Amino acid sequence: MRNKFGERVIETAIRFSGFAIIAFVILIFLFLLKDSLSLFRVYSFKRFILEQKWLPISEPPTFGIVPLITGSLLVTVGAIVICVPVGVATALYIAEIAPGYLKTILKSLIEVLASIPSVVLGFIGIIWLGPFVKNTFHLSTGMCGLTSVFLLAFMALPTIISISEDALVGVPRMYKEAAYGLGATHWQTLWRIVLPAASSGIMAAVMLGIGRVIGETMVVMMVTGNAPIMPKSILQPLRTLTATIAGEMGETVSGSDHYYALFAVGLILFIITFVLNFTAEVFLRKGRR
Amino acid sequence: MSFETRISIENLNLFYGEFHALKNVCLQVPKNNVTALIGPSGCGKSTLLRCINRMNDLIDGVRMEGRIVIDEQNILTPGTDVVALRKNVGMVFQRPNVFDQSILNNLKFGLRIHRQMRSKNETKDLIQKCLEDVGLWDVLKDQLRKNARELSLEQQQRLCIARVLLLKPEIILLDEPCSALDPIATLHIEELLRVLRERYTMVIVTHNMQQAARASDYTGFMYMGQLVEFGVTREIFTAPRQELTENYITGHFG
């Protein structure tokens, strides 16, 4: 009898933790939604989403999220363009080419890479990468989109590498045997059989990488220049959704329109990352089938 | 026993690290016949089979001594063109290992890697011919874009054989090709082997003695890495010369 009771306690505790997670996600969403709606009562949602200017302390203020979304999108796309090919190639090397000892070293190095605090990367961006970008492209400032693109790509790499590598290692041995048996070379086997078989896992890795990049705050706050204007190119200072919230939240009056506008920005960000993670999950499931 | 030799295995020794897996194996594989290799698990029959198309190269720490001669070439020399060898010596595996792609792509894979894609019509004719050979054309001709993994296991295994035939090999190695199939499907595949025998030299590894008796012309019995006896299948099964062979065939061990 006692055993049975103990088991039920544990079971209930575990079930509670599971449901708690779901509850937290829903509560955070409701919380963001509630405060965002406070803005949309005085400032139309349509203007918020379409207006091309973010001037929160002008009189009257303009809360246009377009430049911020554009800024986030620009650095995200830029980072993905760099880190996806590099990340997948690295994963392929670790999973299929590197000899055993190197594999171990590389994998633990990538874990170290993942554990570098983003503020340290931002630091490197300010004192080294920023000036480098400035001199290379002859800009007036190195604090611009491109500098953060490099750092963000670097930050997303560990995620992309380790999840892609899992997907590649998970490709059944028999596919490879079949390919070799038909006379395929190592490279043909990798390119035509292993990569396609792992593609859904790799897609998931890319999605999670994007999620990581778009949600990153510290690095972009330190090196993008934080100018909330429509960026015309990646070589200009810009500002992302995350940096806007982090930078302005401390200066607003609690309960003001500006305050609620930042929550609305948070809501948009939440929806974007939610969709990305959800898509990644769909791809991972498809891969497991 | 008189036949034309297609593969000549001479004093073959194979080591997995320290383990001596094949001991001084000598075997002449007859041309355009089915040769079965039987023996208890771990006797080295699959290992021997995988020497003939150098599949053992994929395993770390394998060392081979001796000669395997195909077309007057010792294929164990380091300079051997393994790609060409595997094209000429096709292999069918234990579990049907179709790729997780369309039937068409499964077939085209071999042509692509060997740069033998012809004009559309020529390729189509080639594919039709091979699917006819394995008895799949009538069933599958309208669904070639279907994922090959959705086929039944028997159809998958037939597709694997078609994939090998498409490269026009002269020798086909079969590593327990029916072990994942039910008895009816097994009989169908054996029938197919009987038809293909006219054109190909085949070596089949099987742990199923009835299958060896039904489907092969010659049989080799292996035990502990050695080839104990080799001869015409009927003789091996009715009048083996070695006591070990007799004990295995009558089911005393295995």
Q: A275: how many CB neighbours lie within 10 A of its CB?
A: 12
pLDDT for the residue numbered A283: 84
pLDDT for the residue numbered B224: 94
pLDDT for the residue numbered A281: 86
Q: A124-163: per-residue pLDDT in tens?
A: 999 999 999 999 999 989 899 999 999 999 999 999 999 9
**Is any Cβ of chain B less than 8 angstroms from the Cβ of A177?**
yes
Q: A194-246: per-residue pLDDT in tens?
A: 999 999 899 999 988 988 899 899 999 999 998 988 988 999 999 999 999 99
What are the structural domain ranges in chain A? 54-288
Residues of B with Cβ-Cβ distance to A191 under 8 angstroms? none
B196 in Cβ contact with B172 (< 8 Å): yes
Residue B147: phi and psi, rounded to 5, are -65, 130
Question: Rounded to an integer, what distance in angstroms lies between the CA atom of residue A152 and that of residue A126?
Answer: 14
Tokens of B4: 């034309």
Is the Cα torsion angle B209, B210, B211, B212 positive or negative in sign? positive
Cα separations in angstroms, B239 against A69, A243, B15, B229, B232: 84, 86, 33, 12, 10
Task: Mark yes or no for CB contact B86/A192 under 8 Å.
Answer: no
Q: Which fold has domain A54-288?
A: MetI-like fold (1.10.3720)
Instruction: Give me the residue label for tokens 């998970």.
Output: A170
Task: Mark yes or no for CB contact A183/B84 under 8 Å.
Answer: yes
pLDDT for the residue numbered B245: 93
pLDDT for the residue numbered A6: 87
ipTM over 0.95: no
**Is any Cβ of chain A less than 8 angstroms from the Cβ of B98?**
yes
Q: How far is B94 from chain A (nearest CA, A)?
A: 9
**Is any Cβ of chain A less than 8 angstroms from the Cβ of B100?**
yes
- What 3-state class would DSSP assign to B50? helix
Full set of structural domains in chain B with CATH? 5-98+169-249 (3.40.50.300)
pLDDT for the residue numbered B47: 95
Task: Mark yes or no for CB contact B90/A182 under 8 Å.
Answer: yes
**Is any Cβ of chain A less than 8 angstroms from the Cβ of B46?**
no
Task: Mark yes or no for CB contact A192/B113 under 8 Å.
Answer: yes
B27 in Cβ contact with B52 (< 8 Å): no
Q: How many CA atoms lie within 13 A of A153 on its CB side?
A: 20
pLDDT for the residue numbered A124: 93
**Is any Cβ of chain A less than 8 angstroms from the Cβ of B97?**
yes
Task: Identify the CA nearest to B77 among candidates B55, B56, B54.
Answer: B54
**Is any Cβ of chain B less than 8 angstroms from the Cβ of A181?**
yes
Cα separations in angstroms, A153 against A53, A219, A245, B160, B249: 28, 11, 22, 42, 64
Question: Rounded to an integer, what distance in angstroms lies between the CA atom of residue A157 and that of residue A209?
Answer: 7
Task: Mark yes or no for CB contact B109/A192 under 8 Å.
Answer: yes
Task: Mark yes or no for CB contact A179/B114 under 8 Å.
Answer: no
In the predicted model, residues of chain B with pLDDT beneath 70 are 254
Give me the residues of B, 62-81, that contact A with CB < 8 A: none
Q: What are B70's strand-pairing partners?
A: B7, B73
pLDDT for the residue numbered A4: 84
pLDDT for the residue numbered B115: 86
Q: Given A172, A174, A183, which is nearest B87 (Cβ)?
A: A183
Question: Rounded to an integer, what distance in angstroms lies between the CA atom of residue B147 and that of residue B132?
Answer: 19
Nearest CA in chain A to B175: A181
HEC readout, A32-82: HHHHHHHHHHHCCHHHHHHCCCEECCCCCCEECCHHHHHHHHHHHHHHHHH
pLDDT for the residue numbered A2: 62
A33 in Cβ contact with A39 (< 8 Å): no
Task: Mark yes or no for CB contact B90/A192 under 8 Å.
Answer: no
Burial label, B50 (beta-carbon count in 10 A; 0-12, 13-18, 19+)? buried
B130 in Cβ contact with B183 (< 8 Å): no
pLDDT > 80? residue A117: yes
pLDDT > 60? residue A1: no
B67 in Cβ contact with B76 (< 8 Å): yes
User: What's the whole-number mean pLDDT along residues A240-260?
Assistant: 93
Residues of B with Cβ-Cβ distance to A178 under 8 angstroms? 93, 97-99, 160
Task: Mark yes or no for CB contact B109/A174 under 8 Å.
Answer: no
Question: Rounded to an integer, what distance in angstroms lies between the CA atom of residue B56 and that of residue A106?
Answer: 28
Amino acid identity, position A20: A
Task: Mark yes or no for CB contact B98/A178 under 8 Å.
Answer: yes
pLDDT for the residue numbered B251: 84
Q: Given A185, A193, A197, which is nearest B83 (Cβ)?
A: A185
Instruction: Give me the residue label for tokens 């502990």.
Output: B224
Question: Rounded to an integer, what distance in angstroms lies between the CA atom of residue A162 and that of residue A142?
Answer: 31
Question: Rounded to an integer, what distance in angstroms lies between the CA atom of residue B220 and that of residue A26?
Answer: 68
- DSSP-assigned letters across all residues of B157-217: HHHHHHHHHTT--SEEEEESTTTTS-HHHHHHHHHHHHHHTTT-EEEEE-S-HHHHHHH-S
> Where would I find the H helices in chain B?
45-52, 82-88, 103-113, 120-133, 137-140, 153-165, 183-196, 209-215, 233-238, 243-249
Q: How many CA atoms lie within 13 A of A53 on its CB side?
A: 7
pLDDT for the residue numbered B73: 93
Q: How many CA atoms lie within 13 A of B68 on its CB side?
A: 22
Q: How far is B84 from chain A (nearest CA, A)?
A: 7
Nearest CA in chain A to B113: A184
pLDDT for the residue numbered B254: 66
Q: How far is A42 from chain B (nearest CA, A)?
A: 55
Nearest CA in chain B to A289: B100
Helical axes A241-248 vs A199-215, angle rounded to 10°: 30
Task: Mark yes or no for CB contact A178/B100 under 8 Å.
Answer: no
Cα separations in angstroms, B125 against A50, A258, A276, A287, B162: 58, 70, 45, 34, 13
Question: Rounded to an integer, what distance in angstroms lies between the CA atom of residue B119 and that of residue B242?
Answer: 55
Task: Mark yes or no for CB contact B98/A179 under 8 Å.
Answer: no
Q: Given A182, A185, A193, which is nearest B163 (Cβ)?
A: A182
pLDDT for the residue numbered B36: 96
pLDDT > 60? residue A289: no
